Structure 1
Amino acid sequence: MEKKDKNNAHREEFVEKVIESLEKGKIPWEKDWENSQAPMNPVTGTIYKGSNNIVLNSVSCFKDYEDHRWMTYKQAQEKNWQVREGEKGTKIEYFSIIDKKTNKPLNKEMYNKLSQNEKLEYDKNLYYLRKTYTVFNGQQIDGIPELQKEKREVDYNKINDILVNSNIEIKYGGDRAFYSPEKDIIALPPKEVFKNENSFYGTALHELAHSTGHPQRLNRDLSGRFGTESCAKEELKAEFASVFIGQEKGLNYNERHLENSNAYLQSWINVLKNDPNEIFTASKEADKISTHVLKYEKEKQPKIEKSLKKELEISL
């Protein structure tokens, strides 16, 4: 049997559990965002993002943790809290950018002062260093103050501002939700067919996440048709972006309108079996997507002009 790379063993173990959950028809990172928050470190105040967010949320689902607080053993000790004997921690990753010449972390203040050409030249001296840390959930720790749960009220007006400020046309009709990259249009079923506002806006934001792939936005490959690997990878990115946006805006994510859910689950299973690292790649991209979408709340986006604009036909 081929020996596992120790540096990636924690990744492989995690992805195996994700695949097992998906095969049972359960999306492991789904939680009730109305009653929970993004995973965070109560000692440093850090909000875990990207792949660490997905990993910690999934482990919470695997182990039925309702506490969103995570920290290292040393951080718990500093607070006079005690990780219970026999508890197993969860591996997370941290990347730092290292300057080869100085062998020190990148001086971001200096780097930001460089011209674009200078940055391109300087980038040749940089590399990413990945470090892993083991963290424990609040429910694995004795002495930690009781979690104060807060009921978050969803401000749908602000979410609607995101849709309006995106300046992307939304067509209502039919029973499918999708984004058309050719026409830069989002298609949604009529709002009244959704069971509540949460479901409607969750679905709309999912399609808005796809729209960021447009060449004049974040420029991703949106050419893959349903059933292809490239489509499955894009769906995974939009899925994770929806999770991050849901956490930020308080949406109850598991109520969204997901078309062909069984087919999507199988496509994600196939992708992750072919390349377990895709879950980490997708979550990194999803972080960029969610940041881009959330800025719409306060910034009206310019209208993207199309050289040939056709009406989107929706069969009713």
Structure 2
Amino acid sequence: MAIKKDMLVEKYIEALESGTIPWEKGWTTTRLHNPITGTTYTGINRIWLTFASYLKGYKDSRWFTFNEISNEKKFHPGEKWHLKKGAEGVEIKKKSIYYNEVEDKWYNSKQYYKKLATLNDVEKEIFKDECKVIGDGKGSYYIFNADEIEGIASEQIIEVDSMTVEKMQTIIENMGVGYEEVMQDKSFYSPELDAVITPPKERFKDEAAYFKTLLHELSHATGHANRLNRDLSGEPGSMSYAKEELRADIGAAFLMADFGLEFDESHVQNHLAYIQSWAEVLKNDKNVLLEAVKDAEMINDYILEMSKERQLTLTQTMEYSALDINEYHVELHGCDEGIDYTVFDNTYRSVDGGIIELNAEDTLLMNDFVEFIANERLNIDFTNYECKKADYEELMEKVETMCLLDEEYARSFNVDQMGYYVSEIFDNGEVVLDAHEDYRMFFTKDEAEMLSKELPMSHVTDNSEFVEILKSNIVNGLQTQSEVNEIYKKPDIEVLKNLKIDKPQINKTMTFGRGR
């Protein structure tokens, strides 16, 4: 008999009604995974498999499909695997993929919900409308735990990145959330202060209890507008308050497992006040659990990222990475000679690059790297600088976009011998001159030459700065290229009505602001 998702939801509700927190059951310190495909189970699938492990008493963290178990030649040569009699598979959900037709961009489930978390309610609806679901996530398949397989080798336990006081301090500092210890009996997160308040560390039963409490409160803190942007306005006793407690507690449970922290009865006692409200919420709407787990997975990912030291270490084997250092952007990666890097300015144009020689066994601290490019290469004062890891793909996309825009609008920077900016020269010899960001005029070549004699060069405004602003807007997503073209290429109809070059025409041009 297979273990279906609906059965697990019902058992979740039963567990809550009996005073048990189901997402605290069955955790291992190794992420549940499929070692053949390299898949690590996340979100709702992680919940299902964890709870199923609790119900069945599984101790192994490995899971496989029936095809992988039965196909010895392809998946486990030399090992004859057989499912035990009466083995039960667990139904898990297929992941959806989303295509945004406006952006012409693909999102996996994690990327899709991470994007939604950064948007307000109106923007969320627009984004959802723009996205087409490829594989609606409604499909499912069954997988089996390694404890149900005969002939399989024992699992090699992977050590977890254990929680320490120093790591917890790193999370708090990287999140930018306030933290204060106060002589009191309760812990909480204050959205108004954006601060976590706890009793003194010494008042907790042990260090693990202190860590668990902080992870729960920091899970709430991820909802701040500057982080994952959730609604934290619910009052105690309200449905929205219960939902926030639900997502934060599941998120903290994910984190506790990832940091090797054991669950104990004290954690259940601390949340007795919420257990019945959670059961009521799930009975009214079973989809609440799915939504809470999606949010919990984002909480998990966010805090895991915040647990990493910001002092990066550069090595010869490092993958392609990106940094933001004040207004500069850096792309770097390891190579045979050491560290290959390129520095881009705030317009995403290359200003420096090269290779820093580094032996295979050596490392370079990020601070030393910043000092090198600041003092040795760019002669910039980086006494006070902020360096943070950036999205490599996003950086290179902006660099490529600016490169293409430079080619597209290259004509804007070609100054002819008369001192005007020539935007276009048509096949019939007609010339388009740009002298200001708001007004353009079309002239024949003869008319342009006549105008150059009548109007001194000093009266013509350079439009290159305006064009740079427009290109920057395109790269940073503030305007589309079609919108910019409307601004930049649209001729001034009133001026076009009179192409004769005479004194009134010149005066009109001056009045419109084309001259200085």
- Taking structure 2 as the reference length, what is the TM-score of the superposition? 0.50
Greater share of residues in strand: 2
Counterparts of residues 219-298 of structure 1 (less than 5 Å): 219-254=229-264, 257=267, 260-298=270-308
Aligned to 1:17: 11
- The separation in 2 between residues aligned to 1:253 and 1:218, in whole angstroms, is 26
Aligned to 1:168: 177
Shift in Å, 1:247? 2.6
Shift in Å, 1:28? 2.0
Aligned to 1:72: 65
Counterparts of residues 138-217 of structure 1 (less than 5 Å): 138-149=146-157, 152=160, 154-156=162-164, 157-173=166-182, 174-217=184-227
Aligned residue-pair number? 282
- The separation in 1 between residues aligned to 2:231 and 2:107, in whole angstroms, is 30
- The separation in 1 between residues aligned to 2:163 and 2:7, in whole angstroms, is 38
Preserved contact between residue 44 and residue 294 of structure 2 (Cα < 8 Å): yes
Q: Identity percentage over the alignment?
A: 39
- The separation in 2 between residues aligned to 1:123 and 1:180, in whole angstroms, is 35
Amino acid at match of 1:123: E
- The separation in 2 between residues aligned to 1:147 and 1:262, in whole angstroms, is 36
Amino acid at match of 1:95: K
Cα RMSD (Å): 3.1
Q: Which moved more, 1:151-160 or 1:253-262?
A: 253-262
Distance 1:99 1:222, change over 3 A: closer
Distance 1:82 1:161, change over 3 A: same
Aligned to 2:502: none
- Taking structure 1 as the reference length, what is the TM-score of the superposition? 0.79
Shift in Å, 1:55? 0.9
Shift in Å, 1:237? 0.8
- The separation in 2 between residues aligned to 1:195 and 1:81, in whole angstroms, is 46
Preserved contact between residue 30 and residue 160 of structure 2 (Cα < 8 Å): no
What is the SS of the residue equivalent to 1:88? Answer: coil
The correspondence for 1:57, drawn from 50, 53, 68, is 50
What is the SS of the residue equivalent to 1:221? Answer: coil
Aligned to 1:45: 38
Preserved contact between residue 81 and residue 142 of structure 1 (Cα < 8 Å): yes
Distance 1:291 1:98, change over 3 A: closer
Amino acid at match of 2:244: E
- The separation in 1 between residues aligned to 2:158 and 2:300, in whole angstroms, is 23
- The separation in 2 between residues aligned to 1:184 and 1:83, in whole angstroms, is 52
Distance 1:154 1:210, change over 3 A: same
Preserved contact between residue 96 and residue 133 of structure 2 (Cα < 8 Å): no
User: Which blocks of at least 5 consecutive residues in structure 1 are unaligned?
Assistant: 1-8, 112-116, 303-316
Aligned to 1:87: 87
1:187-238, Cα deviation, whole Å (9 max, x unpaired): 1111111122111111101111101111221111111122221111111111
Shift in Å, 1:57? 0.7
Aligned to 2:141: 133
Amino acid at match of 1:168: V
Preserved contact between residue 225 and residue 231 of structure 1 (Cα < 8 Å): yes
Preserved contact between residue 177 and residue 259 of structure 1 (Cα < 8 Å): no
Shift in Å, 1:272? 0.7
Larger Rg belongs to: 2
1:225-274, Cα deviation, whole Å (9 max, x unpaired): 22221111111111121122223222224477567422211111011111
- The separation in 2 between residues aligned to 1:121 and 1:274, in whole angstroms, is 25
- The separation in 1 between residues aligned to 2:21 and 2:229, in whole angstroms, is 27
Amino acid at match of 1:227: G
- The separation in 1 between residues aligned to 2:45 and 2:128, in whole angstroms, is 31
